[in-house]
Amino acid sequence: MTFTSIEWLALVLIVLIVIKILVILVNPKAWMSFAKGIYKKPAVTSFVALVLAAVVLYYLIQSGLTIVQILAVTVFVALLFVIGLASEVSYFIKKYEAMIKKGNLWREYWLYTLVWVVLIVWGAYELFR
């Protein structure tokens, strides 16, 4: 059986999700310890995630998907995140309101916002060209 790059990405996701669910079922504290370790240095975590996202995007594009298709799938994934985060929104709203008051919202999220702007402009360009 030979997997395509898309199938490898899906397999990696499946394996990671199964491991996460099993670890949380058996020992939730171990998962929290692992998660805290990953997010201990947010700048490093963000950089690694950005590089991995770029690699995944490259393989998605190379497989023949368009940016429009990728953005459409992102809608589905975003809605799944809403399910998981809906009960946590009040925490995030308080956090972001405090950041807006301090005037550092954009300073904290400039890279994240820039990535989304690039993806949105790219997607809009493809849709309307």
pLDDT single digits (tens) 56-72: 999 999 999 999 999 99
Exposure b/e, 55-92, CB count within 10 A at least 16 = b: eeeeebeeeeeebeebbeeeeeeeeeeeeeeeeeeeee
Q: What is the pLDDT of residue 111?
A: 93
Sketch the domain layout of the chain as residue ranges: 1-65, 67-129
Average pLDDT over residues 10-31: 96
Residue 1 has pLDDT above 90, yes or no: no
Cα end-to-end distance, the chain, whole Å:
39
| Nearest-angstrom CA–CA distance, 86 and 122 | 29
State the pTM of this model: 0.86
